[in-house]
């Protein structure tokens, strides 16, 4: 996600961050559930719309773990992006187990 945000101009990056803060403030009701633990929030940039795939994480789902960000080009989220987000979530959790602390 850092690389994705770094490629955006300041205005677009601000819109993406604002969309995630909106989820933080209002909960999952402002996001779309894509299946399993993966949710999506959309951010309208200056010339394009962005999608952020994330999962609530932590003991009380207090962390929004951003897993994938991309420019919206189709009506429906590509299955490959959802699968990538699921894989990244599994890998993140496996790293937490390997370190002995588990997910936050």
- What are 7-66's pLDDT values in tens digits? 999 999 999 999 999 999 999 999 999 999 999 999 999 889 999 999 998 776 678 899
For the cut 70, the answer to whether the pLDDT of residue 102 exceeds it is: no
Q: Using CA atoms, how far apart are residues 100 and 32, in angstroms rounded to an integer? A: 32
67 vs 57 pLDDT, higher one? 67
Residue 53: name the closest of 42, 39, 64, 43 by CA: 39
Backbone phi, psi, residue 12, to 5°: -65, -40
| pLDDT for the residue numbered 42 | 95
Task: Give the pLDDT score at 101.
Answer: 53
Residue 6 pLDDT > 90? yes
Residue 72: its pLDDT value, please?
84
pLDDT at 74: 83
Evaluate the CA torsion angle 50, 56, 57, 63 in order and state its sign.
positive
Q: How confident is the model at residue 96 (pLDDT cuts 50, 70, 90)?
A: confident
Residue 4 DSSP SS3: helix
For residues 70 and 51, the answer to whether their CB atoms sit within 8 Å is: yes
SS3 assignment, position 82:
helix
pLDDT for res 60: 66
């Amino acid at each position: 996600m850092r690389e994705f945000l770094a490629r955006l101009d300041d205005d677009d990056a601000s819109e993406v961050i604002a969309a995630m803060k909106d989820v933080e403030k209002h909960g999952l009701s402002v996001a779309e559930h894509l299946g399993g633990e993966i949710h999506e929030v959309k951010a309208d940039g200056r010339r394009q719309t962005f999608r952020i795939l994330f999962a609530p994480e932590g003991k009380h789902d207090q962390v929004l773990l951003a897993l994938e960000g991309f420019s919206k080009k189709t009506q429906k989220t590509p299955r490959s992006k959802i699968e990538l987000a699921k894989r990244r979530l599994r890998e993140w959790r496996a790293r937490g187990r390997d370190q002995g602390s588990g997910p936050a």
